Amino acid sequence: MVTADPPRSPRPHGPELIADYVLQLPPKPGVYRMVDRQDSVLYVGKAKSLKKRVRNYTSYARHPIRIQRMIKATQKMEFIVTESETEALLLEASLIKKLKPRYNILLRDDKSFPYILVRRDHPAPQIMKHRGAKKIKGDYYGPFASAGAVNRTLDTLQRTFKLRNCSDSIYRSRTRPCMLHQIKRCSAPCTGVISVEDYSVLIDDAEDFLCGRSDQLRIRLQGQMALASKQLQFEKAAGIRDRLRALAQVSGSSAGVNPTTFRDGDVFGLFTRGGHSCVQVFFYRNGQNWGNNSYFPRHTKEDTPGEILDAFIAQFYLDKPIPKHVITSHPLPNNNLLAAALSERSETAVKLVSPQRGEKKSLVERAVKNAEVALARKLSDRDSQTKRLEEVAELFAMDATPERIEVYDNSHIQGANAIGAFIVAGPEGFDKKAYRTFNIRDAALQPGDDYGMMREVLSRRFSRLMKDEQAIWPDLVLIDGGKGQLSVVTETLGELGMLDRFTLVAIAKGPDRNAGREVFHMNGRDEFTLPPGMAVLYYLQCLRDEAHRFAIGTHRARREKQITRSPLDRIEGIGSARKRALLAYFGSAKAVKQATREELAKVEGISDRLAMIIHDYFHE
């Protein structure tokens, strides 16, 4: 990595700084980063020649205003020289995904994809949904676009092949067939209704189906049904007939959906409107449609559809299996380079095409249509959200529509396991990645002191904000409480000198805690209520309830964790082996607590010194 300081003094920035870097750069492929004065990465780019690419930024006036702002904000640049342009492309995508630069096209809502797993570590293999590392012995089928796509396929497999999905422990404990067998979703190998050998045949048939060999499977089942009928095994023939009917139903419902010109491929359809975009991705594996998913990449109005897809696909396949065919709705500016990079990464030839006719074109058009519908739905939700925020601004006499709302709540049981929490909402709805919790630390607080807990949470939260130059401040802070909570929070924020940074409101539950009769408290304004049924009231109730749900959920998780924790875990020198020995000898942690030093020393592995430590821990 190159991070040389430019030679000029005083230190230049913007075009002057970039011009100084150009003098030091080699004409080789690589990746560059533009960094602002807070050390935040503004932009990550790749280049066939670093020297030529970076020199373009010195022509300040030629660039659009957005790029001019980026150039002007640049205080430092960092460079990585690579062996090839394809390596630079993959590194660029990796850095964009990791650093999330402000001026790059960014893939959002990126999650791992689920698979179907046929476990091979049991005589009667279990079929199940799987997400994460492939550590379990078995056959993996996927990826599927979503958990819903996996669940639908699993439902089809259970109806058609009657495979078990229970855990091994449940399998071992069964003495009679479960309800799934009664509704003809499982063949019950657990109780011997079907032999392990016959169950293995069902597993093999299911894997043929997952591998796209449905036609061969159908022919084979028809032959087996005819043979069973000929041998007067009518019950067996009826079972095979039911499986054939289920297969026919699945095939009929997917007619015209599954491709015939390729087996493994992903179809990317992009639709843009008003500076917003949706990328719809359809997954095809083994000639079958395994679901689709919507993505909403971050970009500017100046980015073209080809540039958006180009950057999106490079980031999309960083941690996902790459199929042999990648089909796009728009031509990509780096099509050949991206195809070479994907081929290098997957170690097999990858075809990246933008079809103009035929079946692939029809699949692309279908993906684009789905993208249009998904974007319209999202923009409609966003418009509705924006309208609610405008009503909130009007209700609380704010100067502008709030971009960030923080809602605070506490949770405890008579002071035990006390936590404070806040949730965040804005134009995009709830921002769950920004949710935070606080373990109440002040030992001087009386159990159940809600005012003291709120004081500690607000003090810690906003003290941190004051120290972080890059932190995003709230425009509106909502407190779940009445006049008392508002007074405490006002005093706390006043001591920190930030009462003027945002609008502060407390929401108190109405008489008998009835929803719809909430009372609002604000400094310098009389308390007020809203008529039931107002949309803005419902929105504020949703915010308050989400904060309550998050706080109480975190509190319960902490309480359950404490319940399962043994007091022996907190004694120095007591590991898992000695804890097991103590519990086996005395029967419970309570009995250990009541034991004398001499009794403790009788336990295997417990020395006289350790017995004294254990006894002293419980008897100060």
Task: Say which amino acid occupies 339.
Answer: A
Q: Which of 65, 99, 133 is the last residue of a domain?
A: 99
Q: Which helix (H) or strand (E) holds 265?
A: strand 265-273
- Nearest residue to 35 via CA among 83, 86, 1: 1
- Mark whether 198 and 318 lie in a shared domain: no
List, for residues 194-229, the tens digit of each pLDDT value.
Answer: 999 989 988 888 888 888 777 777 788 788 888 888
- Mark whether 162 and 307 lie in a shared domain: no
Average pLDDT over residues 561-588: 75
- Mark whether 422 and 549 lie in a shared domain: yes
- Mark whether 248 and 319 lie in a shared domain: no
Asked whether residue 485 is domain-assigned, the answer is yes
CATH of the domain at 481: 3.30.420.340
How many Å apart are CA 227 and CA 211, to the nearest integer? 26
Residue 254 predicted with pLDDT over 50: no
Q: Which of 253, 282, 305 is the last residue of a domain?
A: 253
Between the alpha carbon of residue 478 and those of residues 70, 137, 191, 579, the distances in Å are 35, 50, 57, 46
How confident is the model at residue 231, as a pLDDT?
81
- Mark whether 368 and 437 lie in a shared domain: no
Asked whether residue 502 is domain-assigned, the answer is yes
- Mark whether 216 and 74 lie in a shared domain: no
**CB-based contact 346:321 (threshold 8 Å):** yes
Most confident of 166-170, 203-207, 405-409, 592-596: 405-409
What confidence tier does 413 reach under pLDDT thresholds 50, 70, 90?
A: low
List, for residues 361-401, the tens digit of each pLDDT value.
Answer: 999 999 999 999 989 888 878 888 889 999 999 999 998 99
- Mark whether 553 and 581 lie in a shared domain: no
List, for residues 484-534, the tens digit of each pLDDT value.
Answer: 889 999 999 988 888 888 999 999 887 655 566 789 999 989 999 888 878
Average pLDDT score over the chain = 85
**CB-based contact 356:367 (threshold 8 Å):** no
How many domains is the chain built from?
5
What confidence tier does 425 reach under pLDDT thresholds 50, 70, 90?
A: very high
The boundaries of the domain holding residue 607 are 567-618
How confident is the model at residue 353, as a pLDDT?
94
- Mark whether 52 and 19 lie in a shared domain: yes
How confident is the model at residue 515, as a pLDDT?
60
What confidence tier does 46 reach under pLDDT thresholds 50, 70, 90?
A: very high
- Mark whether 477 and 611 lie in a shared domain: no
How many Å apart are CA 516 and CA 535, to the nearest integer? 11
What confidence tier does 402 reach under pLDDT thresholds 50, 70, 90?
A: very high
Residue 563 predicted with pLDDT over 60: no
Q: Provide the whole-model pTM.
A: 0.66
How confident is the model at residue 619, as a pLDDT?
73
- Nearest residue to 38 via CA among 94, 82, 93, 101: 101
How confident is the model at residue 92, as a pLDDT?
93
**Ranges assigned E (strand) in 483-608:** 503-508, 519-522, 525-528
Average pLDDT over residues 56-80: 90
Asked whether residue 222 is domain-assigned, the answer is yes
Asked whether residue 108 is domain-assigned, the answer is no
